[in-house]
A and B are shown apart, each in its own frame.
Chain A
Amino acid sequence: MSDRRPGAFDDHHPPQLELVKDCVHCGFCLPSCPTYVLWGEEMDSPRGRIHLMKTGLEGEPLSASMVGHFDACLGCMACVTACPSGVRYGTLIADTRAQVERRYERCRRERLLREVIFWLFPYPRRLRALRGPLALYQRSGLDRWLRRTGLLNRLPPMLRVMESLVPTLTRRQPLPERIPASGRCRAVVGMLTGCVQDALFPEVNAATARVLSAEGCDVVIPRGQGCCGALSQHTGREDEAISFARALIKRFEAAGVDHVVVNAAGCGSAMKEYAHLLRDDPDYAARAQIFVERTRDVSELLVELGPVAPRHPLDLAIAYHDACHLGHAQGVRSQPRELLRAIPGLTLVEIAEADLCCGSAGIYNLLHPEPATELGDRKTRNVLATGASVLVTANPGCLMQIAASARRLDGHLTLAHTVTVLDASIRNVPLRGTPAVTDGEGAPAAGPGHWSVYSSPYQWARRMVHHGA
């Protein structure tokens, strides 16, 4: 077959045959793969996709069907956790995707969709500019009117999905460039504010900065930091990802920090891949390596440092969801749980099928709304079955995805980031998460459980007054 070269891939970083050969075809990855769980097909399993890469290396062309199966991969890396042979599927699919993006001509609709997404999402300023219109849309009641009249269902699928994902916006206070440690400074950390996190979940960034400061970190928030390139990297837009990575490395080098701290799982996992991404760049290869060594998920760093700020009780039942890019891609599972368990009064419950992706997967839910919705609903049903009324996870994508599913399933759930919970405990204030379900007039619905008095702003305010806070 080798006479049929070049086959599916060219010579610029094709999926490496040595890595492909690490797969012994045992099939242990199959039940961990969301698309295999959904469709039960070999070619939509990690083992099948590696087999496709192998046949592609042997001479099979990069056909529409082959690309379809690579595209259908959520990149959740659950298979990497499941694999006993240590197959580096993450590297394989990243190299494959870069080849697909460079060499495969998509149809016009697909191209346009990607252009729109990548014009918008990796640019914090453009996203922030949307906040005003979005807030107006939510507050004017236009969203509810569109839903009631059924006009919403006439929108194109991607717009409909985007509409369903947008969380209720909170006030965004710009963070200062430097926040000193309260008490003795134990580390100087640079904080990534991100794109979606910054525009849609500014309260998570604010909480992160407060928690880091409370735990003895000088927090530096470099101005003008751009996108980390996670979405581009995970979609195979290699050149774009490389230029984002270079700019971010440069920005944080100038900040002179001990650690680079991230509170979004997708961003963190992409940043930890910079050494691989920039391996061919003589100027940046070594710098990327140093950057990777400095990069920490916020929960990783907090556990490394150990707590100094006292925790106050939070009487909550919390279900913790491992974001795939935190659990599978970065192996950070115990740290967020350790931080949450250390809060007095807090009960942590585990979710069934915990290893299964929620379907958010970067921009997957925009590109593949159907399987993403199915996975989102499956995850949310498992979350609701725990009986916990708060879902905690460390990725904006997962938060939006599960909130959207909860609204669809009419499930009462409040969603929060790990640091939001920590922040509430350290400051001794009730948790203010994002309620997934809003009742008619926009007031957050009270979830079941004894803590639910917190979830309505009215009741929350009353309680605050009652406690004299």
Chain B
Amino acid sequence: MTHESAELRLLAAEFTARLGPAAVITDRQRLRTYECDGLAQHRVVPGLVVLPESAEQTAAVVRACAAAGVPFVARGSGTGLSGGALPHADGVLIVTSRMRRILEIDPANERAIVEPGVINLDVTKAASPQGWYFAPDPSSQQICSVGGNVAENSGGAHCLKYGFTTHHVLGVEVVTPNGELVWLGGTTRDVPGYDLLGAFVGSEGTLGIATKIVVRLLRESESVRCLLAAFPRVDEAGVAVSKIIADGVTPAAIEMMDALAIEAAEAAVACGYPEGAGAVLIVELDGPVAEVEHTFAAVHRHCTDAGAFEIRVARDAAERALFWKGRKSTFAAVGRISPDYIVQDGVIPRTVLPEVLRCIADLSAGTGVRVANVFHAGDGNLHPLVLFDETKPGEAQAAEEISGAILDLCIAYGGSITGEHGVGMDKAQYLPRMFTDDDLDTMQRLRCAFDPVGVCNPGKVFPTPRLCGEVPGKHKGAHPLQVAGLAEQF
């Protein structure tokens, strides 16, 4: 074990007795493979890894952690991009990848019940023979887990029309931070009382661990049409996006990629995007045939009017998949054109898109740090990819600075520091730039209502230890703020 501690040793023995030796990892080299999630810049070797196979096992693990005052972190497939599943050095990492049963597919009631480790795309694969699908589609949908989607309130290209994960979860069975199994929400569209489910979805693993998830299924659209429009510059593409939305068309998705992002995708998956494009838009429309035909013509016209020099229309599902393949592999594909990079995630009002992009270009030109841009243009969710080479002195620092400056831009233009990747570890320091101390205290109170002892994914989301104690490690006695009479614990 990396950090030998009596408590962890006892826990390891207890988990081994209860879950079997194959479910507990204590070997240092094995533990190190869990030291980071999809955001490899942050690394912490977990004290212990445990792989439960059921809700009951998860609850038992959490109860033991809570009783020992040992912090724990939940992890799904480890694809998060904000370090939300970054382990705790003296804590337990609870990995849900063996809880991957699809318990029920119920098209008549438009829902499915899955375990948290089930891969996002597998829900759709299971429902598609009957003509249904699970709408949230993060780029990592081929591997990211539904539990992770719930924790991060994941979005995806199609959330422009269909909303985020929170709009597709009816209920969750949760292991609370003290180890109780409770249901939030239910199997119906609405349940009376406070919207605790709403609070839980997107809580980034700080309020408990989802062990069963009731997700909504949507009927596959009668018709799907997709076009790829190439523009000389990002500005023209931005104008096209504004025109489409202003016209009252709600596409299923509008995605934009700039020249550098196209170069990366091309290198990775040979998606064959038009040559010489300064930006491409992928616009997908779905719905009843008549509606799609009508709006598709409008989209085509707006793209042409805005200055598209080439428009390709996908002839079939295979061609549509190729359009998307380029887009969905961009993050990882950037590895082909740069040894290291930061995937940024910010939101701006759609109307200021060209302006903000110009500012990003200026930042890039001023420092020589290359920035590739991919974004969900329809809802103003930017994903600038800041490229650098760790081995060259100063580059990582410069990239980090640009990355932060981009978030400041987002805030200055009335946007947000994250659209879908979450705050996690990576952006905790930026949270005070968006919220006042009062705001943060209010959020903290909610957190304490679920996790009074602060063992559930501590150190994430909030920048500094506050109120009920974000002190890493053990918690003994009252919080200093409590002692000083400045705060009370719920």
Seen from chain A, the residues whose Cβ lies within 8 Å of a Cβ on chain B are 21-28, 30-31, 39-43, 47-48, 51-52, 55, 60, 63, 65-66, 69, 82-87
Q: With contacts A25-B40, A26-B140, A28-B143 known, is A65 near B332, CB below 8 A?
A: no
Min CB distance A444 to B, Å, is 33
Q: Which residue of A lies closest to B333 (CB)?
A: A84
Contact of B30 among A23, A43, A85 (CB under 8 A): A43
Bound CA–CA A55/B43 (angstroms): 13
Most buried by B among A25, A51, A65, A82: A25
Whether, in the assembled complex, B457 has its beta carbon less than 8 Å from a beta carbon of chain A, the answer is no
Q: Is A26 a contact partner of B38 (Cβ separation < 8 A)?
A: yes
Task: For the complex of A and B, list the 10 residue pairs with the smallest distance between their C-beta atoms, beginning with the closest.
Answer: A85-B335, A84-B332, A40-B97, A84-B329, A48-B33, A26-B332, A25-B40, A43-B33, A24-B335, A40-B98
Interface string of B115-149 (1 = CB under 8 A from A): 00101000000000000000000001011100000
Min CB distance A353 to B, Å, is 10
Q: Is B79 a contact partner of A41 (Cβ separation < 8 A)?
A: no
Q: Is B77 a contact partner of A30 (Cβ separation < 8 A)?
A: yes
- Determine chain B's interface SS by DSSP, over half rule: loop
Q: Is B79 a contact partner of A51 (Cβ separation < 8 A)?
A: no
Q: Is B78 a contact partner of A42 (Cβ separation < 8 A)?
A: yes
Bound CA–CA A48/B269 (angstroms): 23
A23: chain B residues within 8 A (beta carbon) = 335
Q: Is B332 a contact partner of A31 (Cβ separation < 8 A)?
A: no
Q: Is B142 a contact partner of A28 (Cβ separation < 8 A)?
A: yes
Interface string of B32-51 (1 = CB under 8 A from A): 11111111100000000001
Q: Which residue of A lies closest to B341 (CB)?
A: A24
Bound CA–CA A39/B95 (angstroms): 12
Whether, in the assembled complex, B268 has its beta carbon less than 8 Å from a beta carbon of chain A, the answer is yes
Q: Is B29 a contact partner of A65 (Cβ separation < 8 A)?
A: yes
Q: Is B140 a contact partner of A85 (Cβ separation < 8 A)?
A: no
Q: Which residue of B lies closest to A27 (CB)?
A: B79
B78: chain A residues within 8 A (beta carbon) = 27, 42
Q: Which residue of B lies closest to A22 (CB)?
A: B335
Min CB distance B157 to A, Å, is 16
Q: Which residue of A lies closest to B75 (CB)?
A: A42
Q: With contacts A21-B339, A30-B77, A85-B268 known, is A66 near B29, CB below 8 A?
A: yes
Q: Which residue of A lies closest to B325 (CB)?
A: A84
Q: Is A65 a contact partner of B30 (Cβ separation < 8 A)?
A: yes
A86: chain B residues within 8 A (beta carbon) = 267-268, 335-336
The 10 listed contacts between A and B (C-beta, < 8 Å) are A24-B334, A24-B335, A25-B40, A26-B140, A28-B140, A28-B142, A60-B28, A84-B329, A85-B268, A86-B335
Q: Which residues in window 125-182 of B have CB below 8 A to A?
A: 140, 142-144
Min CB distance B379 to A, Å, is 23
Min CB distance A82 to B, Å, is 8
Q: Is A52 a contact partner of B33 (Cβ separation < 8 A)?
A: yes
Q: Which residue of B lies closest to A86 (CB)?
A: B336
Min CB distance A278 to B, Å, is 28
Min CB distance A19 to B, Å, is 12
Q: With contacts A26-B38, A42-B33, A42-B34 known, is A84 near B51, CB below 8 A?
A: no
Contact of B143 among A31, A39, A41 (CB under 8 A): A31
Q: Can you name 5 extra interface pairs (CB under 8 A) apart from A23-B335, A86-B335?
A: A26-B38, A26-B332, A28-B142, A28-B143, A31-B119
Bound CA–CA A60/B32 (angstroms): 10
A41: chain B residues within 8 A (beta carbon) = 25, 51, 97
B36: chain A residues within 8 A (beta carbon) = 25
Q: Which residue of A lies closest to B77 (CB)?
A: A27
